[in-house]
Amino acid sequence: MNAARRKLTPGPRMLGHMTDAGSRPADTLHTADRDTLDTAALRHPDSLKWTAFDPDVIPMWVADMDFGIAPPIMDALRARLDRSLGYPQLMGDPILQAQLSQSLARYGLSGLGAEHMTFLPGVVPGIYAAVHALSTPGEPVVTMTPVYHPFHLAITDQDRRVSGVPLRDGDSGYEINWSALDAASRGSRLLLLCHPHNPTGRVWNAQELGKLRDLVLARDLFVMSDELHADLRYGEAFESFAADPRVQSRTITLTGPCKAFNTAGLGIGVMVSHNAALLSRVRRAAGGLMGHESALSITMWQAALRDGGPWLADTVAYLRGNRDFLSDYLRQHLPWVKFHEAQATYLAWLDLRAHPRAADIQAFLLQEARVAVHDGPVFAHDSHKSQYQGFIRLNFATSRTLLTEALDRMAAALNRAM
Ligand SMILES: Cc1ncc(COP(=O)(O)O)c(C=O)c1O
């Protein structure tokens, strides 16, 4: 990040006055008004997203939304502060367990009781724990690339090998390369699945899930399915990988509230499995290294599940508008950019390889457009990185005004250098 800062050259200082609503009382940050952002408040020193780059840069990289959190969650958090902040229930909060049992059933994970759930301080620790427990050093672990980078970090940080299977750019979206996946699976014991998929925004459909399950059974694999983005879909049906009883005993599903409810700073996730023994094996692999979820995060997730529905529906509708706006904008102003619309997530995976500056596209956009995006190679490992040079991941969870400003800046810089 410091390197990113150092690379910056002085640029236009537009952001400060463009969308700042001035200094508003803290309460108004959490209103439902997604069109007016208080960029001064967002740029607080505690924000990773808003302070990693110079103040005139529009940050469209890390997966946080620029919106305030749901008012019922704020109320619940405030009320919670009137009580003790001692240890929460370390075997899992019973109210939250009951809520999750209902909520996960919507996606086909039914019959889950307290023994099938383990809370975590975040989803990423669960990815690491699954790799640790279900593979051994030196072994290949299969995943489909490009993919959310902690997937391959969880593998390489723990001395396993990434068996990366590139997705295919099909006519109507990114597709699984079945023969390559089958070949990669032969030597492995574990598949890390991202569903919905970050960064492509794919929701694996019933047919793909069926085929994946067949493959997993044929190759005798364990599966870690990260379903964190499931509530951020634009009309697509969603079924959990483990909705099919045939694969329940070999699957660990991870989820949490932080993407849908924009609460990453409060850190909580859950690891669920119909196979309580498998769950306990994964939990034990992390042992005391894992830490426990915080009391405030439990309150937050309870409130989100109890009262957050209307806020979430409004947010998804707004994000869908942004996604559609982005697509129209690209078709009109940057027709050479290749992309498939995200079916879920607020992330756009864009192929800018046709541009003369594709080889350093992220640095180019940072310097010339003053827009910070994630660089494509981040989403792959070692020798696979180069395939994604010229791609970017753009986070569109911001106000339409700021999204427009970012796209205008990008289009001007890119088309100038074309
Ligand atoms: C697929 C996926 N899993 C996990 C995470 C991070 O989860 P947490 O912050 O709870 O560790 C992200 C964050 O963007 C993500 O996209």
Residue 102 neighbours by CB distance under 10 Å: 11
Q: Indicate which atom in ligand 1 lies nearest the CA of residue 267.
A: 10
Ligand 1 neighbourhood includes 256 CB (under 6 angstroms):
yes
C-alpha–C-alpha distance, residues 15 and 402, integer Å? 9
Q: How confident is the model over 334-369, as pLDDT tens digits?
A: 999 999 999 999 999 999 999 999 999 999 999 999
DSSP state of 70: P
Give me the amino acid identity at 294. Answer: S
Cα of 63 vs centre of ligand 1, distance in Å, is 8
Please check whether the two domains, 2-71+309-416 and 87-307, share a CATH topology. Answer: no
Q: Indicate which atom in ligand 1 lies nearest the CA of residue 120.
A: 10
CA angle 300-306-312, nearest 5°?
80
Cα of 226 vs centre of ligand 1, distance in Å, is 8
Task: Provide the residue ranges of all domains of the chain, joining segments of one domain with +.
Answer: 2-71+309-416, 87-307
Structure tokens at 270: 């859950």
Ligand 1 neighbourhood includes 122 CB (under 6 angstroms):
yes
Ligand 1 neighbourhood includes 258 CB (under 6 angstroms):
yes
C-alpha–C-alpha distance, residues 149 and 199, integer Å? 10
Q: How confident is the model over 141-185, as pLDDT tens digits?
A: 999 999 999 999 999 999 999 999 999 999 989 999 999 999 999
Cα of 123 vs centre of ligand 1, distance in Å, is 6
Closest C-alpha to 188, from 166, 225, 146, 218: 218
Cα of 257 vs centre of ligand 1, distance in Å, is 10
C-alpha–C-alpha distance, residues 242 and 285, integer Å? 22
| Residue of the CA atom closest to atom 13 of ligand 1 | 63
φ/ψ (deg, to 5) at 32: -85, 0
Ligand 1 neighbourhood includes 199 CB (under 6 angstroms):
no
Cα of 276 vs centre of ligand 1, distance in Å, is 23
Mutate to test the pocket of ligand 1, among 49, 198, 263 (most ligand atoms within 8 A of CB): 198
Cα of 254 vs centre of ligand 1, distance in Å, is 10
CA 318, chain centre distance (Å): 18
Specify the pLDDT at position 32.
56
Residue 304: CA atoms inside 13 Å, Cβ hemisphere, count?
22
Q: List the beta bridge partners of residue 174.
A: 169
Cα of 71 vs centre of ligand 1, distance in Å, is 23
Mutate to test the pocket of ligand 1, among 258, 270, 395 (most ligand atoms within 8 A of CB): 258
Cα of 124 vs centre of ligand 1, distance in Å, is 6
Cα of 355 vs centre of ligand 1, distance in Å, is 30
Closest C-alpha to 4, from 65, 63, 49: 49
CA angle 388-323-408, nearest 5°?
80
Ligand 1 neighbourhood includes 269 CB (under 6 angstroms):
yes
Cα of 14 vs centre of ligand 1, distance in Å, is 31
Per-residue pLDDT of the chain (418 residues; tens, 9 = 90+): 333 333 333 333 334 333 333 344 444 444 457 988 999 999 999 999 999 999 999 999 999 999 999 999 999 999 999 999 999 998 999 999 999 999 999 999 999 999 999 999 999 999 999 999 999 999 999 999 999 999 999 999 999 999 999 999 999 899 999 999 999 999 999 999 999 999 999 999 999 999 999 999 999 999 999 999 999 999 999 999 999 999 999 999 999 999 999 999 999 999 999 999 999 999 999 888 999 999 999 999 999 999 999 999 999 999 999 999 999 999 999 999 999 999 999 999 999 999 999 999 999 999 999 999 999 999 999 889 999 999 999 999 999 999 999 999 999 999 999 9
Architecture of domain 2-71+309-416: Alpha-Beta Complex (3.90)
Ligand 1 neighbourhood includes 334 CB (under 6 angstroms):
no
Structure tokens at 41: 């408040």
C-alpha–C-alpha distance, residues 395 and 322, integer Å? 10
**Length in residues, the chain:** 418
Structure tokens at 159: 């001395």
Ligand 1 neighbourhood includes 347 CB (under 6 angstroms):
no
C-alpha–C-alpha distance, residues 106 and 191, integer Å? 24
Which CATH number is 87-307 given?
A: 3.40.640.10
Q: Indicate which atom in ligand 1 lies nearest the CA of residue 264.
A: 9
pTM above 0.85, yes or no: yes
| Residue of the CA atom closest to atom 7 of ligand 1 | 123
Residue/partner pairs of 282-290 with CB below 8 Å, 24 or more apart: 282/118, 282/126, 282/129, 282/130, 282/132, 282/133, 282/134, 282/252, 283/118, 283/129, 284/133, 285/129, 285/132, 285/133, 286/125, 286/128, 286/129, 286/132, 286/133, 290/120, 290/121, 290/125, 290/129
DSSP state of 69: P
